[in-house]
Structure 1
Amino acid sequence: MSNTLLITGTDTGAGKTFLTTVLAAYWRKYRPQSSLGIMKPIQSGVGDRELYHALFTLDQSPDETTPLYFKAPLAPPIAAAKENRTIDLALVWQTLLKLQQRRDFLLVESLGGLGSPITHELTVADLAGEWRLPTILVVPVRLGAIAQVVANVALARQAKVNLRGIVLNCTQPRFDEEIADLTPPELIQSFTHIPVLGCLPYLEEPTNLTKLAQVGSNLDWEILSL
């Protein structure tokens, strides 16, 4: 899936949705002649799918964006059990293939982090590895981030995930010195041997498409564009 990029994170709230909107806004502004698709394959609770359809004109249905949708904002196995449903990964895979074939570039936002459960047996990392999805790891700029990165990269390698790069994300306003102290790119790259593609600044208006596209222009698109 050379035109598909999976966005995952170290944990819930790392900034996956923010990075996905940044990449989509950049793609729409600077590559308007090519087609873009966005997926949130499994969603628990209201949020990302609704945001993507509000921000972008997507030539796809909500069911194509999110094939599996559960009401409770819980881990999918638990949310599915509350509705007496199962996790139909075949449906997710088929929808992914259809969108991938119809789009020049497909962004896929995972749920939670690499270690988040999808079923009672599989995590996000397992699925990313089995489906051979080129993956970007979002890391929030905060104390403890280095340890989280090291652990997540180890999990990615164990699951044979094609981890292409790391993107740092300021979930609150940060000075350059704070970013360098909390998430030093050189140290992260030294431990993980994975390139840091950039750092997303905190935005007070995270739905401003012009600002999102501008933020996206500062990332390493040579790797992101696959």
Structure 2
Amino acid sequence: MKGLLMADTVPGTAGTEAIAAPVAVSKAIAAYLTKHRHSQLQGLSVPEDLAIADWGQLWRDYTELLERGEPLAIALPHSFGAAIDATSTLAEWAGDWRLSVLLTLPINAHSFSLATAFAALARQSQAQLLGFVVWGSGSAEAVKALSEPIEATLRVPVLGHLDLQPQDLENPDALATAAAQLNWELLPW
């Protein structure tokens, strides 16, 4: 088993006012695992300011959490291309630590371009991109119109669509119900 990094494609635009999209997806997955699989989603605490992170301590914490055998996710309210320091990005970190990656993708006119760019970044960084979770309000037709070309052209799956309202974020049943719609077989646990 390995960890899962959840990051954004466009931070600040895909989340609700209360919470960033990757963090909301992580909360939904945690609620689903608790309710339906009777397991806990472990999380690695990474500072919001990546430049001040103690990467040696984070590695020790990460390996210790992996040894427990429970699903492990790192949800960051940053873009997958965000800089950690002057020489590395989240994408490179994911590749170095062999993290699987799940990216949130908004529904807008630029979503296919974003998916293309971030799939290329994952390949360049040698990070295993498991897929995208489409985030935000949109019709089933809009999600399908976005998902089909991503899967056909990029060969990267879209695990599903989550449209959580701020009040849903504190409701474990609403979170678990929303997350039940994702293609779970594509996740690393």
Letter in 2 for 1:127: W
For 1:92 and 1:154, locate their aligned partners in 2 and report how far apart those are by CA, in whole Å.
27
Please show how residues 107-186 of structure 1 align to structure 2 within 5 Å. 107-170=73-136, 173-181=137-145, 184-186=146-148
For 1:94 and 1:25, locate their aligned partners in 2 and report how far apart those are by CA, in whole Å.
26
The higher radius of gyration belongs to 1
2:100 and 2:188 in contact (8 A); partners too: no
Among 163, 179, 184, the residue aligned to 1:216: 179
Letter in 2 for 1:214: T
Q: Secondary structure at the match of 1:143?
A: coil
Kindly report structure 1 stretches of 4+ aligned residues shifted beyond 3 Å.
177-181
Q: Secondary structure at the match of 1:43?
A: coil
* Residue 9 (str. 1) matches residue 15 (str. 2): no
2:30 and 2:40 in contact (8 A); partners too: no
Letter in 2 for 1:41: V
Q: How many residue pairs end up in the alignment?
A: 181
Name structure 2 gaps, 5 residues minimum: 15-20
Q: Do the aligned partners of residues 20 and 35 (structure 1) sit closer, same or farther apart at CA in structure 2, a change above 3 Å counting? A: closer
TM-score, normalised with respect to structure 2 = 0.88
In the alignment, which residue of structure 2 is the partner of 1:19? 25
Q: Secondary structure at the match of 1:186?
A: helix
- Describe the superposition over 1:35-75 as per-residue Cα deviations: whole angstroms up to 9, x where unpaired: 4311242324xxxxxxxxxxxxxxxxxxxxxxxxxxxxxxx
Among 41, 48, 61, the residue aligned to 1:36: 41
Name structure 1 gaps, 5 residues minimum: 45-75, 81-86
1:174 and 1:202 in contact (8 A); partners too: no
* Residue 88 (str. 1) matches residue 54 (str. 2): yes
Q: Secondary structure at the match of 1:115?
A: coil
- Deviation of 1:31 after TM superposition, in Å, equals 1.6
- Deviation of 1:204 after TM superposition, in Å, equals 4.2
1:134 and 1:163 in contact (8 A); partners too: yes
TM-score, normalised with respect to structure 1 = 0.74
* Residue 105 (str. 1) matches residue 110 (str. 2): no
Letter in 2 for 1:123: T
Q: Secondary structure at the match of 1:163?
A: strand
For 2:102 and 2:129, locate their aligned partners in 1 and report how far apart those are by CA, in whole Å.
6
For 2:178 and 2:164, locate their aligned partners in 1 and report how far apart those are by CA, in whole Å.
10
For 2:126 and 2:105, locate their aligned partners in 1 and report how far apart those are by CA, in whole Å.
19
- Deviation of 1:225 after TM superposition, in Å, equals 4.4
1:3 and 1:104 in contact (8 A); partners too: no
For 1:16 and 1:217, locate their aligned partners in 2 and report how far apart those are by CA, in whole Å.
16
